[in-house]
Structure 1
Amino acid sequence: MKNNFLLTVAIAIVFHTSPLLAQSINDTKDTLTPVQPQSAVAPNSGLTVTGYVEAYYTHDFTAPKTAQERPGFLYNHKRNREVNVNLAFIKGAYTSDRVRANLAIQVGTYAQYNYAAEQGLLKNIFEANAGVKLSKTHDLWLDAGIFSSHIGFESAISKDCWTLTRSLVAENSPYYLAGAKLTYNTPNGKWTLLGSVLNGWQRIAKLPGYSGPSVSTQVQFKPTANFVLNWSSFLGSDRPDSLKQTRFYNNIYAIVNPNGKVSAILGFDIGADRKPVGPDGRRVGNGSYVWYAPVAIVRYSFSDVVKLAGRVEYYDDKNGVIIATGTPNGFKIWGYSLNVDYFILPTALFRIEGKVYNSQDAIFETASRDSNTNTSLTTSLAVSF
């Protein structure tokens, strides 16, 4: 009750002190959608206020009628057979020549499930960071706090992604990070270089027993407006120090013709955790546990108003590092989805998506017995301001 009261007061203060609306949100790790200005900046202040609300309904045709949640490896659009809010937030952003800061307060089922391990009011923080430009002549910034992850081409903000729901690899890699980062953009705008020191693998508070820190990098190349090539990495751990399980993760993707009639995203992620140390101080085996996930998305734009996107993906985590199933083959699953987007207004988006999962083992609950397949239909209405 106390947390809800504080959250209500914070939102009320932002609305009361900012009689302005700003452009639609676009500073996520996925900036594939063109910015559509909607409002003004406060005079002489550099302060903007933006907001986003996405309501949804998901129908899982495979799960028992009494099942209220989608499978455990999903964190967005999680509730089954009920109308709910996936993500809603209000954000204040301040920018000047040498200083910037962001604060966004969130609610919704995305925050409920994806931030379950965080503490108290931190579960309602979508973004909170401050930055300073270190050079007068170069685009070099130091930022610290909680920010959207640079690992991957998708974010929790559905309107900025080509598909309504997130890919398996996005759902099971960091959506947010906490720490400090250096970002450099070259004068010609073709290269972005980033290095960061983090509290952990999608951790605001460090994992108990892990001393850290973790580090992460990003190298992004944009030779033209129609091509993006990205490599992001993570080196650290998501296990206590006693297990000595170093994690090395790589995220690679290419985006081709993102604003054209036909466009595509090709992605490949691969991670490795060292095999752990047992109670006797010896490792349980040589080498590492490896998991990987390729994904391909193709989008066709009939117009600025109607778009169609299809996705094919695969996730292989046979050792259950990220997704444990307790089955003989572990988590080995294909995913297929098709979605149609209709922009009612530049700031209002209606979407519908059908999706099928096909697993090597029977991991999906049904009314009678576990199944190898899962079928669902999701609709959403997202409004930004």
Structure 2
Amino acid sequence: MNKFFITSAFLTGVITSTFAQTTDTTTTSAPTQAPTIATPASGLTLSGYIEAYYSHDFTAPKTAQERPGFLYNHKRNREVNINLAFVKAAYTSERVRGNLAIQVGTYPQYNYAAEQDLVKNIFEANAGVKLSKTRDLWLDAGIFSSHIGFESAISKDCWTLTRSILAENSPYYLSGAKLTYNTSNGKWTLLGSVLNGWQRITKLPGYSGPSFSTQVQYRPSSKLTLNWSSFLGSDRPDSLKQGRFFNNFYAIINPAGKFGVTLGFDIGSDRKPIVSGDRRVGNGSYVWYSPVVIARLATSDRSYLAGRIEYYDDKNGVIIGTGTPNGFQTWGYSLNYDYKILPNALFRIEGRVFDSKDAIFEAKNNSVSRTNTSLTTSLAISF
């Protein structure tokens, strides 16, 4: 199957003033490079992050104010807006740590829509204690960034401006308690957690049990990170008896080099629901999966080019419902350019195309289209 696209456009006049971000001390995954295990300096630090953006959807009608429903970042169409901005206080000592970050922007507006109003503006809020004097073993509890996947909501830490389809449709945040162990040589991270659910701060009504998640990460050198994360639980009421088992795999190759590659693969399954008494729709489970390849090239000490090819198959509509005969079976292609204006200021521009098996994208003249083309730019500043 040959796929080809050309996207070109012109944008001027994005001006912002900002806050920015420091590393979440409870996070162990590494979206851009393999982490080093080090004891952070003690004390309280304040930081912030802000990302302004403009997205132009060439396929949608001029009156369409939102990008397609399966996207949660850079969601607003044809308007300058803030994707994510937060201020963060982080406290660290030898045996205690804690983080509190308050957020605004269109990302929390859409991704936290199902949460109670009181917690929609919490990017993270967690407390941790080191359980061993001699081992890097921590117990953290609260709301924290998800360890599932190689991308986060903080765009500047990701290789592409927009998030991959698999990242947009798996947890960005989790709430519960987790136990994290890093080996003394910095090569292994092991994590186990008990959670309120699949990207849930407040439990889903009708779901009684906890969910569980794990992470195994191996970093044999600074040039390679291998990761397997899993989720076991449900995102459905108990009455449907739909258990969910989800796996995320990725490899980050040569992240700090001139040329790097990220390979990712998600696969999940929900057991088919009970529709009457103990009778199920059918035997087995509904399965969805998504592979993605991202390649990045440093064109100078201040600039990068990155390209992405991805596919998402959810024909049964478990995660992304379409109401069409073939469900969501969609290819994605993107190309972006990054320029570091200052050490803490990043300008980015990205062209992106989706190509679906069914016509699922809103188009001009009250029609629908199998393809969708867009251009997004952003300016992110951190301190």
Per the TM superposition, whether the score is higher than 0.5 is yes
1:26 deviates by 2.7
Check whether the contact 1:30–1:155 (CA below 8 A) recurs between aligned residues.
no
| Cα contact 1:219–1:231 (8 A) shared by 2 | yes
Q: Does 1:377 align with 2:372?
A: no
1:272 alignment partner in structure 2:
269
Alpha carbons of structure 1 residues 45 and 23: separation in structure 2 relative to 1, 3 Å: farther
Determine the C-alpha separation between the residues in 2 that align with 1:25 and 1:34.
16
Which digits, 9 at most, give the CA deviation of each residue in 1:245-297, with x for residues without a partner? 00000000000000000000000000000000112321110000000000000
- Name the counterpart of 1:82: 79
Equivalent position to 2:284, from 284, 287, 309: 287
Equivalent-residue separation in structure 2 for 1:85 and 1:379 (angstroms): 12
Mapping for residues 139-158 of structure 1, pairs under 5 Å: 139-158=136-155
Q: Among 316, 330, 333, which residue is 2:313 paired with?
A: 316
1:126-141 alignment runs, 5 A limit: 126-141=123-138
From 346, 350, 358, the equivalent of 2:347 is 350
| Mapped contact 2:20–2:85 kept (Cα < 8 A) | no
Distance (whole Å) between structure 1 residues aligned to residue 33 and residue 342 of structure 2: 14
Could you tell me how far 1:367 is from its partner in structure 2? 1.4
CA 1:161/1:61 → structure 2, altered by over 3 Å: closer, same or farther?
same
**What is the Cα deviation at residue 30 of structure 1?**
3.9
Partner of 1:62: 59
Partner of 2:13: none
Q: Where in structure 2 are the equivalents of 1:225-240 lying within 5 Å? A: 225-240=222-237
Query: For residue 94 of structure 2, what is the aligned residue in structure 1?
Result: 97
Cα shift at 1:23: 9.0
Partner residue in 2 for 1:15: none
* Contact kept? 2:54, 2:81, Cα under 8 Å: yes
Residues 33 and 161 in structure 1, CA contact (< 8 A), matched pair in contact too: no
The yes-or-no answer on 1:32 pairing with 2:32 is: yes
How far does the alpha carbon of each residue in 1:176-214 deviate from its partner, in whole angstroms, 9 at most, with x for none? Answer: 000000000001110000000000000000000000200
Letter of the aligned partner of 2:381 in structure 1? V
CA contact (8 A) 1:26 1:160 kept: no
Determine if the alignment matches structure 1 residue 187 to structure 2 residue 220: no
AA matched with 1:66 = T
Letter in 2 for 1:119: Q
Per-residue deviation, residues 328-370 of structure 1 (Å, max 9, x unmatched): 1000000000000000001000000000000000000111210
Distance 1:88 1:267 in 2: 27
2:113 corresponding residue in structure 1: 116
Give the 3 Å change call, closer, same or farther, for CA 133–45 of structure 1 in structure 2.
closer
Q: Is 1:64–1:366's contact at 8 Å kept on the other side of the alignment?
A: yes
The answer as to 2:261 corresponding to 1:261 is: no
1:200 is aligned to 2:197:
yes
| Offset at residue 33 of structure 1 (A) | 5.8
Contact 2:61 2:364 in 1 (8 A): yes
1:121: Cα distance to partner? 2.1
Is 2:360 the partner of 1:363?
A: yes
Higher RCO (C-alpha 8 Å, min separation 6): 2
CA distance in 1, matches of 2:164, 2:262: 12
Matched residue type, 1:299: R
Distance in 2 of aligned mates of 1:73 and 1:59: 16
3-state secondary structure, aligned to 1:169: helix
Aligned mate of 1:333, from 330, 333, 336? 330
Q: 1:220 to 1:173 in 2, by over 3 A?
A: same
**Which residue of 303, 308, 321 corresponds with 1:306?**
303
Asked whether the 8 Å contact 2:306–2:337 carries over to 1, the reply is yes
Amino acid at match of 2:373: T
> Does the aligned pair in 2 maintain the 1:330–1:361 contact within 8 Å?
yes
% identity of equivalent residues: 77
With over 3 angstroms needed to count, the CA separation of the structure-2 counterparts of 1:23 and 1:83, relative to structure 1, is closer
Partner of residue 244, structure 2: 247
Q: CA deviation at 1:221?
A: 0.2
For residues 130 and 291 of structure 2, the distance between their equivalents in structure 1, rounded to whole angstroms, comes to 36
Deviation readout 1:31-82 (Å, 9 max, x if unpaired): 42699xxxxx9xx961001100000000000000000000000000000000
Which residue number corresponds to residue 294 of structure 2?
297
Looking at structure 1, the residues matched to 42 and 295 of structure 2 have their Cα atoms a distance apart, in angstroms, of 41
Q: Is the 8 A contact 1:33 1:160 kept in 2?
A: no
Structure 2's unaligned 5+ residue stretches are 1-18
Distance 1:199 1:102 in 2: 19
How far did residue 93 of structure 1 move?
A: 0.2
Q: What letter corresponds to residue 295 of structure 1 in structure 2?
A: V
Q: What is the Cα deviation at residue 302 of structure 1?
A: 1.3
**1:128-159 CA-partner distances (Å, limit 9, x unpaired):** 00000000010000000000000000000000
